[in-house]
């Protein structure tokens, strides 16, 4: 996730700090850790705003157990080793010193031109979520492949309402975990069928590249009314945004349906790259303005303790 503060004002930094700490709080293992992380965020943003004299670029990456905050600005660089212990009674010079006392991994790199990059690993751990990785069922729940239209399989409002209501009923009777497990099973099977439809439409044989996996995601989500788009893409990570949920506003009544996206994406990625982890960073279902989904592939997934894990046999 990335932001630009231009102009870089204290008010803009304060608003971004609130947005970032809210995000951390939703995903943190221990909510108490967020206060320390918020202090680090406040200090790094405040320093940049006070000393940069120009725009400030901010990014947050939480694909590892702990999130990494990176702040770029055009102000003068400095060396962390030059930071003295603040004098008793002084109210200045305490910020970065205090950040280091919180156990934050911190480094500063001068840019080749003007400015610097300050990188800090925030002292908060991502909540470990239970992974449901069921095998794909061979019974095909979708229409036959030759019934797919130019954009893949479509949707019907009645079926969407039916799925949402089934999920709500299951959650009311058996709890969120049982519902997520049920939705994950559906996603594993449906995702396999949609991958086959994509392969046939594109005449693809063999392993899908990361770019092809991303295209498959966009194709199948567009076909059912989603508005997904690629934020970033490389060989070991796909980051997607989404402006519109295929289930519509009713998804807010059944957030467990987000496991459908996780299971579909994770199954396709794991079948083609050996392993996958899906991180549901932002979700319309829980009040975020858009969805943001990160899919880690292969070795990148195997080394990540968080998110929903999928293996090649799915």
Question: Whose CA is closest to 130, among 170, 167, 181?
Answer: 181
CATH of the domain at 293: 3.30.1380.20
Query: For position 166, what pLDDT does the model report?
Result: 81
Number of domains in the chain: 2
Residue 281 CB coordination number (10 Å): 20
**pTM tops 0.75, yes or no:** no
- Check whether residue 266 and residue 303 sit in a common domain: yes
| Shared domain check, 223 and 98 | no
Is 47 in the same domain as 83? yes
Cβ atoms of 260 and 306 within 8 Å: the answer is: no
| Confidence grade of residue 2 (pLDDT, cut at 50, 70, 90) | confident
99 found inside a domain: yes
User: Which whole number is the average pLDDT over 155-160?
Assistant: 61
- The 10s digit of each residue's pLDDT in 159-200 is 766 777 788 788 777 877 888 888 888 888 889 999 999 999
Q: Does a structural domain hold residue 10?
A: yes
- pLDDT recorded at residue 89: 45
> Is residue 108 domain-shared with residue 203, that is, in the same domain?
no
The pLDDT value given to residue 131: 83
Look at residues 77, 211, 220 and name the one whose alpha carbon lies nearest to residue 148.
220
The CATH number of the domain holding residue 62 is 3.30.565.10
In this structure, is residue 127 part of a structural domain?
A: no
Q: Let me know whether 60 and 178 are in one domain.
A: no
Please report, rounded to a whole number, the percentage of residues in the chain having pLDDT higher than 90: 41
For residues 291 and 195, membership in a common domain is answered with: yes
Q: What range defines the domain where residue 74 resides?
A: 2-121
> Are residues 103 and 215 located together in one domain of the fold?
no
Distance CA 62, CA 66 (A): 6
Distances in Å between the Cα of 268 and the Cα atoms of 4, 41, 196, 255 are: 34, 36, 10, 22
Same domain, 176 and 88: no
For residue 170, the model assigns a pLDDT of 82
C-alpha to C-alpha distance for 208 and 213, rounded to whole angstroms: 6
Cis status, amide bond into 57, omega within 30 of 0: no
Torsion region of 247: left, alpha or beta (phi above 0 gives left; psi -120 to 50 gives alpha): alpha
Q: Is 70 exceeded by the pLDDT of residue 312? A: yes
Mean pLDDT of the chain: 84
Question: Please, are residues 264 and 190 in contact by the beta-carbon 8 Å criterion?
Answer: yes
> Is 94's pLDDT higher than 80?
no
Question: pLDDT tens digits, residue range 18-68?
Answer: 999 999 998 898 878 898 888 889 989 988 898 877 899 999 998 888 999
Q: Quick check: 313 pLDDT over 70?
A: no
């Amino acid at each position: 996730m990335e932001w630009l503060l231009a102009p870089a004002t204290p008010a803009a930094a304060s608003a971004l700090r609130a947005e970032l700490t809210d995000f951390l709080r939703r995903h943190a293992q221990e909510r108490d850790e967020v206060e320390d992380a918020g202090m680090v965020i406040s200090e790094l943003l405040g320093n940049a705003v006070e000393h940069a004299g120009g725009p400030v670029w901010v990014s947050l990456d939480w694909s590892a157990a702990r999130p990494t905050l990176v702040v770029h600005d055009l102000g003068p660089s400095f060396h962390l080793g030059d930071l003295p212990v603040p004098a008793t009674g002084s109210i200045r010079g305490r910020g970065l010193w205090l950040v280091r006392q919180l156990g934050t991994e911190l480094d500063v790199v001068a840019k080749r031109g003007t400015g610097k990059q300050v990188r800090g690993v925030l002292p908060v751990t991502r909540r470990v979520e239970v992974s449901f990785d069921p095998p794909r069922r061979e019974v095909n729940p979708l229409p036959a492949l030759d019934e797919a239209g130019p954009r893949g399989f479509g949707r019907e409002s009645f079926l969407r309402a039916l799925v949402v209501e089934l999920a709500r009923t299951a959650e009311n009777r058996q709890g969120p975990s049982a519902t997520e497990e049920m939705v994950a099973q559906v996603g594993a099977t449906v995702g396999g069928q949609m991958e086959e439809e994509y392969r046939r439409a594109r005449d693809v044989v063999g392993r899908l590249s990361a770019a092809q996996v991303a295209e498959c995601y966009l194709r199948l989500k567009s076909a059912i009314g989603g508005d997904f788009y690629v934020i970033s893409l490389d060989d070991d990570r796909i980051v997607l945004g989404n402006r519109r949920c295929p289930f519509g506003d009713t998804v807010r009544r059944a957030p467990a349906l987000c496991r459908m996206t996780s299971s579909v994406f994770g199954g396709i990625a794991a079948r083609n790259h050996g392993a996958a982890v899906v991180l549901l960073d932002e979700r319309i279902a829980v009040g975020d303005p858009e969805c943001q989904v990160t899919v880690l592939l292969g070795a990148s997934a195997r080394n990540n303790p968080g998110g929903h894990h999928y293996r090649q046999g799915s």
